Structure 1
Amino acid sequence: MGIGRGWRWRRKRQDWLTRDLDNAEVMLRLSRWMAARWSRHEFDVGSILLDYTRRLAEAGRHEDALAALNEAIDIGSRHVHAKPLRYAPNLAAALLMKAHLLAELGHMEEAVSTAEGAVDIYRTLVPGDQARFEPILFAALTSVGFWRHQRGEFTQARPAFEEAAELARRLPPARVADRAMALNNLGAVCQELGDSSDALPPLEEAVAIRRRLLAEDRERYEPDLVASLRNLEQTLSALGRYVEAVAVVDEISALSKSSSPAADGDPGSA
């Protein structure tokens, strides 16, 4: 029975993806036809390509998704200098989507450089619409820091985490977990670089937030708290504050043995 239900669900999802892709391809062909006659419709092609890419990625067609993103990036790059307000948001979105797809495919170096291009554009967009673009800039910076951290490029990861931590303080209250993640990321990379004094304040703040979140949802937030506590214990020990470090170890021991904490110093990804 379970196998049959699973097969039907997969078939239903595949049918949905196929119909969705077919509809997106029809819209794309129509927009290209219009753009060939009226250049102003190139913007529509770029916008539809972004949606088309999402559907291709969901269907597992990664190479086709990359080709669609490259086309969207080419359109944006041709027009962004003449019409930055119109084309810059789509160009930045295409770059960030491409970066995440490249990272998923294991092309980390290209993913980082592509995401940094998106970051540069989002920085220019934030002053014009802070509420819309600052959270996306935060996510892009977190991704850059995370990928550089994965590559062992701690010195290069630190500025991205620092800027993300600053932006995290202005995120909506509902995103307090993201603020804790950003602070933990910054503290962890500072500790890995040997700057324990700089690591301590953000780690203490991350732990305080995650303790509050634990009371709301223990199963969801306990691994995050344990990860921050481990980072905090290492930092306190490096500063010679051993009594406080032992108290943190005791707190970790008191937490559920069933939790699966992140590795020490492992940053989160937005």
Structure 2
Amino acid sequence: MGTMLSEVGRWEEALAASEEAVHIRRRLAVANPDAYEPDLALSLSNLGTMLSEVGRWEEALAASEEAVHIRRRLAVANPDAYEPDVALSLSNLGTMLSEVGRWEEALAASEEAVHIRRRLAVANPDAYEPALASALSNLGNRMSEVGRGEEALAAAEEAVHIHRRLAVANPDAYEPALTASQSNLARAYLAAGDLGRAIPLYERTLVDSERVLGSDHPDTLISRNNLAGAYESAGDLGRAIPLYERTLVDSERVLGSDHPDTLISRNNLAGAYESAGDLGRAIPLYERTLVDSERVLGSDHPDTLNVLGSLAASYAQAGRIDEAIMLLERVTSDFVRVLGSDHPDTLNALGSLAASYAQAGRIDEAITLLERVTSDFVRVLGSDHPHTLSARHNLALWRGRRGMPPVPRPRSPTCWPTLCGCWAPTTLTL
């Protein structure tokens, strides 16, 4: 019941149903653990997903961790029956840990899931290779988050290779999974800055999604959104904006105006208008999206906070710097409270606040904040992560304008984006 309600965007009702299922199964498991603990673990896993949908990440993580704990214990007694469930729970736990910025722990959980599923697939490939491919796809995402780009590509490419082979033998069963793996591989190419491979693969994924699932399927809408994002990353706004506009119209028609995916589509279209310098359309669209996100998702949902930050950046671009700083100070405080001071979104928000301070002529405050952000990125993500490289470059830029010596650069800088006051997570991937 909870899953079905979630699919149509009725998140609060879905959560209530999942909480009731956990309550019932926990009571049954107390009386008869052998009979009901497996079902309790399943309900906890579903509850974790529902809690994440409404932005209650810490509670989602707690539910997912309990599901892993129960399934590990069951697998000790009966590995053949429960090891596949352990791998599934670990993969879900990796996603939850990623959402709260605990990226190294997320990676460890995903690596263990792949290890289990690879061993199972060796013994029984027909039964477990599909799950191995899904775990590899998730592992690629986790590798990208910690800046291990080559390993991320290797995992994502292996996932596509397995799904492609399975789809040849049984297209009806595996072509949908193949399109998802292709999308994740394209995302890995994009994260590595390889637009020459990312864009054609996103284009192919969209064509395949329309053929396999239909033009109105929610996953097809996601593929269209992601292709538009790749075009925007390449600076091709002439193709990005019409595609974002079509995605938004179709999302409102198919999913409804209040569906979270529709809100993401609206935010991304506003971001493309902003990139094109069309603030007359960007700002009202951001403002509408913020009002709707607060109403539908709540003020503390990470997607809502991202919209708030995007609106602040558009105010800064429009010269409304005092309003921008006010919103950015609010959103950084909210990110610290909701996700913690070390979450990458929190650090990106602080970097955007520093950019606004600099735009307002408050250079010393900007430098002090950027020094803190750079130090935190080094500690949390490492010296060679793209976020760290960007923060280090921005700090060097403003220290140079003050006549101060630059901080030592990392060993192998790959790119140096310019400090522009842009909100880092403007484009949200569905």
TM-score category of the 2 structures, normalised to the smaller one: 0.5 to 0.7
Match of 1:34 among 22, 28, 37: 28
Asked whether the equivalents of residues 57 and 65 of structure 1 are also in contact (C-alpha less than 8 Å), the reply is: yes
Q: Give the aligned partner of residue 135 of structure 1.
A: 130
Structure 1 residues 65, 257: closer, same or farther in 2, change over 3 A? same
CA distance in 2, matches of 1:24, 1:213: 35
Offset of 1:180 from its aligned partner? 4.4
CA distance in 2, matches of 1:225, 1:53: 30
Q: Give the aligned partner of residue 238 of structure 2.
A: 257
Structure 1 residues 209, 134: closer, same or farther in 2, change over 3 A? farther
Q: CA RMSD in A?
A: 4.6
Offset of 1:90 from its aligned partner? 2.4
Match of 1:210 among 201, 204, 209: 204
Structure 1 residues 158, 48: closer, same or farther in 2, change over 3 A? same
CA distance in 2, matches of 1:24, 1:43: 15
Matches within 5 A, 1:54-203: 54-126=49-121, 130=125, 133-172=128-167, 173=171, 174-175=175-176, 177-178=179-180, 180-181=182-183
Offset of 1:185 from its aligned partner? 6.9
CA distance in 2, matches of 1:52, 1:211: 31
Q: Give the aligned partner of residue 252 of structure 2.
A: none
Structure 1 residues 181, 81: closer, same or farther in 2, change over 3 A? same
Offset of 1:44 from its aligned partner? 1.8
Post-superposition CA distance 1:120-143 (Å, at most 9, x none):
222233357656643332232122
Q: Which amino acid counterpart does residue 79 of structure 2 have in structure 1?
A: P
More contact order relative to length (CA 8 Å, sep ≥ 6) = 1
Offset of 1:178 from its aligned partner? 4.2
Offset of 1:165 from its aligned partner? 3.5
TM-score by length of 2: 0.41
CA distance in 1, matches of 2:147, 2:111: 17
Offset of 1:97 from its aligned partner? 1.3
Offset of 1:73 from its aligned partner? 0.8
Equivalenced residues, count: 221
Unpaired segments ≥5 residues, structure 2: 1-7, 216-220, 244-428
Q: Which moved more, 1:107-116 or 1:207-216?
A: 207-216
SS at match of 1:258: helix
Offset of 1:49 from its aligned partner? 0.9
Asked whether the equivalents of residues 61 and 93 of structure 2 are also in contact (C-alpha less than 8 Å), the reply is: yes
Asked whether the equivalents of residues 190 and 230 of structure 2 are also in contact (C-alpha less than 8 Å), the reply is: no
Asked whether the equivalents of residues 93 and 106 of structure 2 are also in contact (C-alpha less than 8 Å), the reply is: yes
Offset of 1:101 from its aligned partner? 1.6
Unpaired segments ≥5 residues, structure 1: 1-12, 193-199, 231-251, 262-268
Matches within 5 A, 1:9-28: 17-28=11-22
Structure 1 residues 110, 163: closer, same or farther in 2, change over 3 A? same
Asked whether the equivalents of residues 165 and 179 of structure 1 are also in contact (C-alpha less than 8 Å), the reply is: yes
Match of 1:49 among 44, 47, 55: 44
Post-superposition CA distance 1:100-158 (Å, at most 9, x none):
12222222211111111111222233357656643332232122223323432234334
